[in-house]
């Protein structure tokens, strides 16, 4: 079984940040040494992006337009083309022919495929040497500057931080950093892992992910 160093973050009263080793974490072979196949990424990211689509583009066809209750002019004798309604798509302010209508773009994919893709993405970050495990983040207050210092100290400024549960101080400290994001272990997905260069787990977050993906 592979291991990964656990980093302990020390914050002194002056705001300086230091790091020290806090032992090693066991990495599940099933999660961190999974086969990496880009087709998994394509399938799952495509699904995530499709489910995010609003699908609210809408136009009004001739049946949805107001007016058009009577024929604009008589059929013959005027010298003009025949017309039956002011709502015709040929007229200005008439209905739209074959225009977009609200649509649900979401679709479901196999849960096993999602797990395989997530394992592959996590394994890819580990193979690149872009996996970091932190004992825990103990920020004394909500402070973006301090969070930036911590990420710089562990060498992961472009990072997805995975914690076991909601930590308001951690989330709000990182949300204004353009290249950092905090997610709960239960909401970890392939798109977010691939979007960030580094994957930073808290010790509790690592245990949660390994338990969920190791099955």
pLDDT in tens, the chain (215 residues): 788 999 999 888 887 888 889 899 999 999 999 999 999 999 999 999 999 999 999 999 999 999 888 999 999 999 999 999 999 999 999 999 999 999 999 999 999 999 999 999 999 999 999 999 999 898 889 999 999 999 999 999 999 999 998 889 999 999 999 999 999 999 999 999 999 999 999 999 999 999 999 86
- Comparing C-alpha atoms, which of 197, 190, 140, 205 is closest to residue 34? 190
- What is the three-state SS of 162-176? EECCCCHHHHHHHCC
Q: How high is the pLDDT of residue 64?
A: 92
Residues of the chain with CATH 3.40.1370.10: 2-53+107-213
- Judge contact between 117 and 40, C-beta under 8 A: yes
Q: What pairing do the DSSP bridges indicate for beta strands 131-134 and 198-202?
A: parallel
Q: What pairing do the DSSP bridges indicate for beta strands 17-27 and 2-11?
A: antiparallel
| Cα dist from 34 to 29, 98, 99, 114, 115, whole Å | 7, 47, 46, 13, 11
Residues in CB range of 128: below 8 A, 6 or more apart:
none
pTM comes to 0.84
Sign of CA dihedral 8, 205, 42, 214: positive
Structure-token pair, residue 164: 């076991």
The CATH classification of domain 2-53+107-213, taken from the options 3.40.1370.10, 2.40.50.100, 3.40.50.10240, 1.10.3980.10: 3.40.1370.10
Q: How high is the pLDDT of residue 69?
A: 87
Q: How high is the pLDDT of residue 68?
A: 85
CA distance 146 to 75: 78
Edge to edge, what strands does the sheet with 131-134 contain?
A: 17-27, 2-11, 131-134, 198-202, 159-163, 180-184
């Amino acid at each position: 079984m592979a291991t990964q160093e656990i980093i302990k973050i020390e914050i002194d009263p002056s705001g300086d940040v230091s790091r020290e080793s806090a032992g090693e974490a066991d990495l599940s072979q099933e999660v961190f040494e999974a086969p990496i196949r880009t087709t998994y990424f394509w399938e799952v990211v495509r699904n995530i992006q499709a489910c995010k689509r609003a699908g609210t583009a809408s136009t009004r066809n001739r049946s949805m337009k107001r007016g058009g209750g009577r024929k604009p002019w008589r059929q013959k004798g005027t010298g003009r083309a025949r017309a039956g309604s002011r709502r015709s798509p040929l007229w200005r302010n008439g209905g739209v022919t074959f225009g977009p209508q609200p649509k649900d773009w979401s679709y479901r994919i196999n849960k096993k495929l999602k797990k395989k893709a997530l394992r592959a993405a996590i394994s890819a970050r580990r193979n690149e040497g872009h996996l970091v495990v932190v004992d825990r983040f103990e920020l004394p207050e909500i402070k973006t500057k301090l969070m930036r210092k911590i990420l710089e100290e562990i060498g992961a400024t472009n990072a997805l931080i995975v914690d076991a549960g909601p930590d308001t101080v951690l989330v709000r400290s990182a949300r204004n950093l353009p290249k950092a994001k905090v997610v709960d272990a239960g909401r970890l997905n392939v798109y977010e892992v691939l979007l960030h260069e580094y994957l930073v787990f808290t010790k509790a977050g690592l245990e949660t992910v390994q338990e969920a993906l190791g099955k």
